[in-house]
Every structure is written in C-alpha cells, then in structure tokens.
Amino acid sequence: MGTAVISHDECLEHVTPPGHPEQVARLDAVRGALEGLDVAHVTAPMAAEDDLLRVHPKSHVDAIKAAAPSEGWRSLDTDTHMSAGTLGAAYRAAGAAVKAVDLVMSGEAGNAFCATRPPGHHAERETAMGFCFFGNVAIAAKYALDHHGLKRVAILDFDVHHGNGTQDLVEEDARILFCSSHQSPLYPGTGAAHETGVGNVLNVPLPDGTGSAAFRAAWERQVLPRVDAFKPELIIISAGFDAHKADPLAGMMLETADFVWVTNVICDLADRHCQGRVVSALEGGYDLAALGESAAAHVAALEERSR
C-alpha cells in the first residue's frame, strides 16, 4: 500500500512577515527533503465546512474568514498573522488531514504524512494562536470517528510545544486519547501533568535540555503503555520537529535518530492495535536543515513500515 504524502502548493501562499519563524521556506525544506522517497504524492483538497465545524464553532470559522486580508498582513496576535493566501492554505492543511484519514481507512495507503502549513495544534475552539488557525489533527480524529465509525482514536504529539489547541478540542471526548510530550516551561504555558481531561489526556512535560535518553524513557514509561491500554483503531501524529537540538525556538536536545525511533514505536503500536493505520501531520520545526532532515527521516520510517 505504501505511504501517501499529501500537500498542495497553496500552502506556500501563506506568507508571514519577514523574520517570522513559520515561513514559506519551511515547507520548501520539507518537500525538497522528501524528493526521492518512494511515496505516493496526493493533492490536498480544501476542507469541507462541516469538517471544520466538528471541532470549531461557526463563529470561529467565520471570524477567520473575515480576518483574511486581500493584501499585506493582518495580525490576530503577536505570533499569528494572515496574508492573502493564508485562508486557502489553512483549508488545505485541514483538508489534507481529512484526506489522509480516508486514504488510510480505505487501505489505499498504509499510512500518510501531511506536508502542509499552517500547523494546527495550538488552535483552540475559538482562538487562532501560535501560528495556527484550525485544529487539523483534532478535525481528522473527529472525522475518523464520525465518518468511518471508529470508536477509539489516539493523537500523539511530540512537538516541543504543548498542543494546547488539540487538548482544548478533544479533552471532553473520551473516544480520543491525547498524549503530548513537550518542553516545560515553554510557550504556550499549558500541558501540566495534572491536566487530564475526562481521563483521556496524558501530558508529559520535560525540562529544558532534555536529550535522547530522557525523551525515550518518558515515552517508554508513560506514553506507550497508555496507548497500549487504550487500543486505538487509528493513530494520528502531531509531528513537530522543533525538539531537535538545532531548533532556535526551544531547548530540547533531540537528534534526528530520535524522530526515527519515536516513529517506529508508534508504528509498533499501530501494528498491534489498528492494522498499521497511522496519519501524521506536520506541526513545528524551525531550523530549516534540521526540519528537512527530520521530516525526511520520519517519512522514510513510515514508508519502510507501510510495505
């Protein structure tokens, strides 16, 4: 079946102000690094309004539409900016995650990676923040439950920042397990271990300077047993690569090999519980060389497991 990589050139039209870390060059770096891998390339569709409304109220979707400028930039907060191409890119990023679920659930792909931007895991129900506008992975999880009739979906987030938006969108839905390892303290200041939702949220805060051994131990002792016990029918990954030691926005010290390791242990879980079904969506990663290398290693590991 193989791995599907879902992307769209419209995701390059989300242009941020000069010097902003979430820049067009990020997606160029990822897509360039994926060249030569044995994957199927799929065009990301626009998200359907109904899919956005699974997690966001209409007032939020309407507010994002209304904020979209015809030229220049509009700032929603000090970090989150819209250009003329942002709205289309955000719809493509959410649509890619939904398309990935369809491809994996139908068996057309063994697993899938969404090479899209803007990212989504900071977008709360009614708040765009942290470079994010819509909760892409939460949208995909709710779609999988509602459209494909699944009973249990796990979202696993190894971005260096806590996925506060994803947590906000799923913490009252016991059908979704959300596990996040992240540096703490760090933006956005959420993700304490005591934040447990309705028993469906596991936060694993890690200190500045955390390296390979401590990161892997945290996953082995906390995340993997929790997912095993949950027995998901689909696993969705928030794949942020900003815990890499080269990243300028945080202080964890992971190597590219750690992203290969975590990809493989997630695939082991998927093999045990959900016929290998994994959907991954790009989140952070702001050193271009490290981002490209790490994303390519992640997708190569997915491709190897999808054969």
Is 92 within 8 Å of 161 (Cβ atoms)? no
Q: Which amino acid is at 107?
A: G
Q: Which amino acid is at 48?
A: A
Query: Which among 122, 182, 244, 298 is annotated as catalytic?
Result: 122
Is 29 within 8 Å of 44 (Cβ atoms)? no
Radius of gyration of the chain (CA): 17
- 298 annotated active-site: no
Q: CA 1 to CA 294: how far, in whole Å?
A: 23
Which pair of tokens denotes residue 124? 């709360």
Q: Which residues make Cβ contacts (< 8 Å) with residue 196, sequence separation at least 6? A: 202, 203
Q: What are the angstrom distances between the C-alpha of 158 and each of 55, 106, 168, 254?
A: 21, 26, 17, 11
Q: Is 107 exposed, middle or buried (0-12, 13-18, 19+ CB in 10 A)?
A: exposed
The catalytic residue positions are: 122
